Amino acid sequence: MARKSLIYGLLRKYKISSLLDPDKDNWQSVRAQMEFHSRNVAALQCVLPVSRPEGAAFLLLARLCARDWISADGRICPPAEPQPVSMSGIAASLGRPFETIRRHLRWLESAGVAVVDQRGAALAVTGDMTDHIASYLAAVHDTMLLYGTDLADADDMLPVKPGSVWAVPTVNVIERALDIVLVPFALQPMLLTNWCAGIVYLGIAYENIRTVKASPVLSRRYRYENTPDALREPVPLLVVATRFGLPYATVWRSAQLLRLLRVARPVARDGWLVATADLHEEQPKQARLAYRGYVARQFRALLAEGYDPAIARGKLLARAGA
């Protein structure tokens, strides 16, 4: 009870009103959410082709093995001895048939990303892919820091007192980030049945609102309003293909499926849009609120562990200038 009161006290101190009230639609934070997932998908390119359906198995494997990859001093490096995780557990967590997951893990093994034996599967700790896996985990860490600063801006979170010390462990940031990355697979089954279509949908939706997300004035103006269609910029499919390293033909086919599902539409020559009307159905709204509640829990925990968005912003700026 004392711990819960402490966390809620921190939340109120930082005025995170929409995290305390997950029923309140804060569209600025939704735009931050879209950028967070878009950046993570783009980062995935350093490990495997984004179009591969094995991506979901890799993400869960990365989440389960992340703690082994973080040294005591916070460095990201492969462990001396990988700790395998159960293939049946991965299948159960993703809600997929065991044989499908076994096949996906075997493909990851053939690509040098995983090792698989009778005990289960783990991220590869030798070979050329280890540097790429470490780079991906580092990118996940940084996108989580950025996500937190965006949520701070979206919710008027105030920085802590000058002189605060960064206390949250690297592994906690990465694990909670990957937990959030995996949430859409529970809320949008399409991502598992058609992984590539889900990624193309994300790419279209994010590029549509990217200009508003990047503008402090527009972000605040539409904090509690969805981005109007007049400000949504139709995106050529080639832009989505380039951002995620996908073949154009693959993106085009996925876009046609999204059109049939009535979740995205062509509005100009090679311009695609996820319109406001596509986001106001009851099911997407429930998914948004469920996602929001989950993210709130993750950041409550990070705040209690020492996460400070002001220091996170400084870390990101220092890294960008290095």
Phi and psi at 163, nearest 5°, equal 95, 0
H-helix segments, 155-236 = 170-187, 190-193, 195-214, 216-221
Determine the Cα–Cα distance for residues 230 and 267; give it in Å rounded to an integer. Answer: 12
pLDDT band, very low/low/confident/very high, at 191 (cuts 50, 70, 90):
low
Q: Are 22 and 296 in contact (CB under 8 A)?
A: yes
Instruction: Give the Å distances, CA to CA, from 314 to 39, 161, 262, 286, 317.
Output: 19, 14, 42, 35, 5
Nearest to 87 by CA among 127, 63, 120, 109: 120
Looking at residue 315, what is its pLDDT? 82
Are residues 57 and 104 in contact, defined by beta-carbon separation less than 8 angstroms?
A: yes
Which of the residue ranges 14-23, 208-217, 229-238 would you say has the lowest mean pLDDT?
Answer: 14-23
Residue 250 pLDDT > 80, yes or no?
yes
Give the Cα separation of 139 and 282 in Å (integer): 33
Sheet holding 265-268, edge to edge: 235-236, 271-273, 265-268
The Cα–Cα gap between 93 and 115 comes to 19
Break the chain into its structural domains and give their ranges: 21-152+181-306
Residue 24 — pLDDT band, cuts 50, 70, 90? low
Tell me: pLDDT of 177 over 80. Answer: yes
Nearest to 237 by CA among 194, 202, 271, 196: 271
Q: How many residues does the chain have?
A: 322
Angle made by CA atoms 298, 299, 302, in degrees to the nearest 5: 95
pLDDT confidence of residue 165: 59
Tokens of 36: 């967070």
User: pLDDT tens digit string along 62-106?
Assistant: 999 999 999 888 899 999 888 899 999 999 988 889 999 999 999
pLDDT at 156 > cutoff 80 = no
Indicate the pLDDT class of residue 50, thresholds 50, 70 and 90. confident
How many Cβ atoms are within 10 Å of 36's Cβ, its own excluded?
A: 23
Confidence tier at 269 by pLDDT (50, 70, 90) = confident
pLDDT (tens digit per residue) in 282-308: 556 677 777 888 888 898 888 888 888
- pLDDT value at residue 282: 54
- In this prediction, residue 132 carries a pLDDT of 94
**Rounded-to-integer distance, Cα 130 and Cα 82, Å:** 12
- The tokens for 314 are 């400084």
Question: Following DSSP, what letter does each residue of 146-164 receive, concatenated?
Answer: HHHHHHHHHTTPPP--TT-
The pLDDT, as a whole number, for residue 296 is 84
CA distances from 12 to 28, 117, 161, 311 (A): 19, 49, 15, 19
**Residue type at position 134:** A
Which pTM value belongs to this model?
0.85
**pLDDT (0 to 100) of residue 200:** 94
In the structure, what pLDDT confidence band is assigned to residue 281 with cuts at 50, 70 and 90? low
pLDDT at 8: 35
What is the torsional sign of CA 97, 125, 242, 285? Answer: positive
Share of the chain above pLDDT 70, in %: 83
pLDDT at 289: 76
Cα(239)–Cα(245) distance, integer angstroms? 10
Q: Return d(Cα 51, Cα 199) in angstroms, integer.
A: 8
Q: Tell the residue number behind the tokens 């996908």, with chain if given.
A: 246
- The pLDDT of 127-151, averaged and rounded, is 92
